Amino acid sequence: MNMINLLILPILLPFLFAVILLFLKENIRAQRLLTIVGLVVSLAAALRLIWKVKTAGVQTITLGSWPAPFGISLVSDMLSVLLVTTSILITILIVLYSFTAIGEARERFYYYPAVLFMLTGINGAFTTGDIFNMFVFFEVLLIASYVLIVLGGEKRQLRESIKYLLVNVISSALFVVTVGLLYSVVGTLNMADISAKIAEVGQPGIITVIAVLFLLVFGIKGALFPLYFWLPGSYSAPPMPVLALFGALLTKVGLYAITRTYTLFFIHDVAFTHELLLVLSVLTVIMGCVGALAYFDLKQIIIYNIIIAVGVILFGVSQMNEAGMSGAIFYLIHDMLIKAALFILIGIIISVTGTSNLRNMGGLMKTHTSLGWMYLITVFGLVGIPPLSGFIGKLLIVQGGFEAGNTWATVIILISSIIVLLSAMRIFVYAFWGEPVKLPKSDRRSYRKEMLPATLLVVISIVYGVSTEWLIPYMADASDILLNPSIYIDAVLKE
């Protein structure tokens, strides 16, 4: 059966299951079961969609049977469908981790519905082909993330959620203003149509101003250099499963939005816009490195590693050549997987030792050997030691950087890998080597249960690294459409 609504299922199914969970507030077992069922069904739909996009090209649908620029278009190209699938996969594993790590009090207060609503927003933002609809999906995921960040009501969570909310409300208002400005210039909201209209007028000054405003908006969401100030504080407040979810997924939506707008709309004054993106991304990498080395707190070290990765990916995007772009996509998906794995492992270390301060740890290798090896493999993957998952992405990004002639910036990206290795190995050295410290009494069974999703994520990331050759056609499809917006425009407007 040729099902034209297939691309909406990864958005619709998490939403539907979240609504059903609202009826089952007190029944935690049913909530857990339904969450997993809903996510697995969504994953199946997303995998089916990958296959369809691979065989039949870009999938588009305009809701309500309206013709293309007038209705809301949803567009699934290879980039968006890969991101959707990765998000669902990561959410499944983090939900598995939540079963033991989040605690019944939170589960009883709409934890799982909030996770599923957030996934709805994330998948929607990845799939939409309408700039205002993207704003709406941003709000869906943000409002769910407000719930997750404050759920539990600890003092620290309350303080940090006020900051998080304030920053995001301001950036959302800026988003609306920017979309309004863009609408007043081009007179359309459909992304393919916007791209075509901008190409007609050849990007005058006002469009470049709008491009910078979009960079500002998505830079706040995605934690780009001068706008990342809110992230280290806000992300350290919620419990570990929520932090893993945020660290793996939320900033990546901002990255996707920058990538989409800077490859589809604003491609006629690259000398200014993409140069700006390049400078900011390199500064992001540098500031992230400073933060990653400065702390003795497990969470903060990994949080600053998110910021480094944001810089590296946007550096790849700003090159606007084939190597840089497919490198950025490789690295983006790698980073989602590896950050989720890292945060779960860090969470296990924190729950085993009862502290997040590196100075109070030591000798875990003797008591928790598998955790140690797992962490070591993840760190090697994070840094990009071949054949693990971070290698090919960074290699292609560096190649793209040299091809585009940005030698110095590329060298900084290369040096940042060493600093990432240093910061993550410091955790390994302090926590796993040395004399064992006295550990608080912990539940061995929940430790084993928590290791399961971590192991699965590490295995997935290894497979992702080893099967590079097999993945290249998919990445080539994804970077193709980013470098040739005409494919996207034709798919949406000429049906």
> At its nearest, how many Å lie between another protein and the CB of residue 150?
14
Q: Minimum distance from CB of 361 to another protein (Å)?
A: 41
Shortest Å distance, C-beta 18 to another protein: 9
Task: Give the amino acid at 353.
Answer: T
Beta carbons within 8 Å of 45's beta carbon, 6+ residues apart: 6, 9, 10, 13
* Nearest-approach distance from CB 21 to another protein, in angstroms: 9
**Given the complex with another protein, which of 9 and 481 has the nearer CB atom?**
9
Residues 82-119 as b or e (16 or more Cβ within 10 Å = b):
bbbbbbbbbbbbbbbbbbbbbeeebbeebbbbbbbbbb
Of 63 and 169, which has the nearer Cβ to another protein? 63
- Shortest Cβ distance from residue 68 to another protein (Å)? 11
Amino acid type, 494: K
The residue among 12 and 439 lying less far from another protein, judged by its C-beta, is 12
**For another protein, the closer CB: 15 or 218:** 15
As measured in angstroms, the least distance from the Cβ of 20 to another protein is 8
Nearer to another protein, 5 or 407 (CB): 5
Of the pair 109, 272, the CB lying nearest another protein is at 109
| Minimum distance of another protein from residue 250's CB (angstroms) | 23
Does residue 387 have a cis peptide bond before it, meaning omega lies within 30 degrees of 0?
yes
For the chain, the 3-state helix, strand and coil shares in percent, each to the nearest 5, are 80, 5, 15
Quick one: tokens of 97? 């981790």
Nearer to another protein, 16 or 283 (CB): 16
Dihedral (C-alpha) 231, 237, 242, 245: value to the nearest 10 degrees? 20
| Distance, CA of 282 to CA of 408 (rounded, Å) | 10
Cα angle 219, 412, 395; round to 5: 90
Tokens of 230: 């809110």
Instruction: Please report the sign of the dihedral spanned by the C-alpha atoms of residue 477, residue 40, residue 140, residue 304.
Output: negative
**C-alpha to C-alpha distance for 143 and 76, rounded to whole angstroms:** 24
CB of 147 to another protein, least distance (A): 13
* Minimum CB distance to another protein smaller for 70 or for 373: 70
Sign of CA dihedral 371, 372, 376, 379: positive
Q: How far is the CB of 110 from another protein (least distance, A)?
A: 9
Residues in the site for another protein, rule: CB under 8 A? 1-5, 8, 12, 15-16, 19-20, 22-23, 25, 61-65
SS3 2: coil
Per-residue DSSP letters for 50-94? HHHHHHH--EEEEGGG--TTTS-EEEE-HHHHHHHHHHHHHHHHH
Q: Which of residues 22 and 158 has its CB atom nearest to another protein in the complex? A: 22
Which residue, chain included where needed, has tokens 């110095």?
Answer: 408
3 or 411, CB closer to another protein?
3
Question: Min. distance of Cβ 129 from another protein in angstroms?
Answer: 13
Which residues fall within 8 angstroms of residue 352, CB to CB, at 6 or more apart?
A: 364, 368, 371, 439, 442, 447
Residue 387, helix vs strand vs coil: coil
